Amino acid sequence: MLRKSLFPLVLSLLFAISASASSHRENPNAQFDNALDSTDVYMFRSPDAPDTVTLIANYWPFANPAGGPNFALFDPKGKYLIHIDNNGDAVEDITYEFTFKTVIQNPNTFLYNTGPIMRLDDPNYNLRQTYTLVRVDGPYASGTRTTLITDALVPPANVGPKSTPAYEQTAMQAIRNLPSGGKVFVGPRDDPFFVDLGAIFDLLTLRPIQQLHKLPPIMQADKGYDYTAKFNVLSIAMQVPISQLTKDDPVIGMWTTAQKPRVQIAQAGSGIQQNVGGYVQVSRLGMPLVNEVVVPLGLKNTFAGLQPKQDLDVFNSVPDFKNAILDPEVARDITALYGVSVPPAPRNDLVTVFLTGISGLNQPKNVRAAEMLRLNTSTPVTPAGQINRLGVIKGDNGGFPNGRRLADDVVDAELQVVAGGYVLTPDFNKSPNNAITDGVDANDAPFTSSFPYLATPWSGFDTHPGQ
């Protein structure tokens, strides 16, 4: 009886949380467009550059380091956008637009590189990409456009010790200074997200507390395993002076989107494609896990195409969306599978965490409810040696959900928030609610202490199957 009664809940939960990285293979519209599929978004102030905000948008989930000869590339037909709202109205006030070109130096070879690549402009770097960066002030569709960088080279894939013998030295040549201050880096990096996908796929098994799981077999407790380890992503990283992002409020919101041509017409026999009818948004990401844990299946493609300014109207007019937030399915499933009592609906605490920001922490003065990552740029920066991976719920206000640092463990933090293990729901801020974990506490590779902070991408030669 237990298995039969839990089966519908388990199925719905798997669809909701199975990917668990912010959009790793999760967005139905984008799962066939790896290059346009946003995986994670980060926004933080770093101890080494406290007068700036670092913005990171990652794409192409589970990029195989050995994926040659066609290594992961940005889509030259697409547009990659980082949006900033600096007055709380859920409308972008600043957009950074990245577009790409693919250049083949020698079309008469199948080789990605024709010899060792020792510098960005090395002639041996055969199949290369460049990008152009435009800042748009005001609404993206009608604002003032300023070109910041034109045709900057993207670093190559980390092919191996013969092809890219000094990879990190070569890749860091791609850091470009922005005209009015700040930096930008675009290229392959190690996937910074960490999560036990293998256990979560298995009916939300959380290895460290699996003895509480209602479905047999009961296995010996164990730490989790990082199933995004040794995969890469395509990263867009910017470090921008705070003064260029804020207006009258220190709180800013960030989300990333990707667009593709509305219609593509292929010319038979040539491989040439013509774009027709403008662009359509196919990917959107702000707060991690919202599209997985909160948005129901029937609304996922709709959500991916919405602008944040539309979220409140959808919340008020679509009962399934409103109920998914105020009475989240995953909270009920935690109770069903683990017997953990969670806060009752309506969950207004989750509305503040995911849609408005938390009052007194990262809620804008004149907020309109909308899903995005929010950061209070006046919050003191946490020193590097004092960072708590669980951020705000453990008293580290410099971390998630006040922005998101690379080291923030958003899987554990959000599981605990949904279970009520947080000061916003004090009656439930107790064990096991405030100790739920997937058992993966850190990335598989250490982050660096300077921009772009992301770890070196894994090498195809050095990453072996079964490792």
Indicate the domain borders of the chain. 2-435
Give yes or no for residue 59 having a pLDDT over 70: yes
Measured torsion, CA atoms of residues 390, 394, 400, 401, in degrees rounded to the nearest 10: 130
- Whether 127 has a pLDDT exceeding 70, the answer reads yes
SS (H, E, C) the chain: CHHHHHHHHHHHHHHHHCCCCCCCCCCCCCCCCHHHCEEEEEEEEECCEEEEEEEEEEEEEEECCCCCCCCCCCCCCCEEEEEEECCCCCCCCEEEEEEEEEEECCCCCCCCECCCCCCCCCCCECEEEEEEEEEEECCCCCCEEEEEEEEEECCCCCCCCCCCCCHHHHHHHHCEECCCCCEEEEEEEECCCCCCHHHHHCCCCCHHHHHHCCCCCCCCCCCCCCCCCCCEEEEEEEEEEHHHCCCCCCEEEEEEEEEEEEEEEECCCCCCEEEEEEEEEEEEECCCCHHHHHCCHHHHHHHHHCCHHHHHHHHHHCHHHHHHHHCCHHHHHHHHHHCCCCCCCCCHHHHHHHHHCCCCCCCCCCCCCCCCEEEECCCCCCCHHHCCCCHHHHCCCCCCCECECCCCCHHHHHHHHHCCCCCCCHHHCCCCHHHCCCCCCCCCCCCCCCCCCCCCCCCCCCCCCCC
Mean pLDDT of 405-434: 94
pLDDT at residue number 272 = 66
Q: What is the reported pLDDT for 27?
A: 56
Choice among 17-31, 310-324, 379-393 with the minimum mean pLDDT: 17-31
The predicted-structure confidence for 365-393, as pLDDT tens digits, reads as follows: 999 999 999 999 999 999 999 999 999 99
Which range has the worst mean pLDDT, 37-46, 295-304, 373-382, 407-416? 295-304
Going by pLDDT thresholds of 50, 70 and 90, the confidence category of residue 9 is: very low
Q: What is the pLDDT of residues 81-101, one digit of tens each?
A: 999 999 999 999 999 999 999
Sequence-distant (≥ 6) Cβ neighbours of residue 270 within 8 angstroms: none
Residue 7: left (phi > 0), alpha (psi -120 to 50), or beta?
Answer: alpha
Residue 13 has pLDDT above 60, yes or no: no
**Contact status, residue 82 vs residue 245, Cβ threshold 8 Å:** no
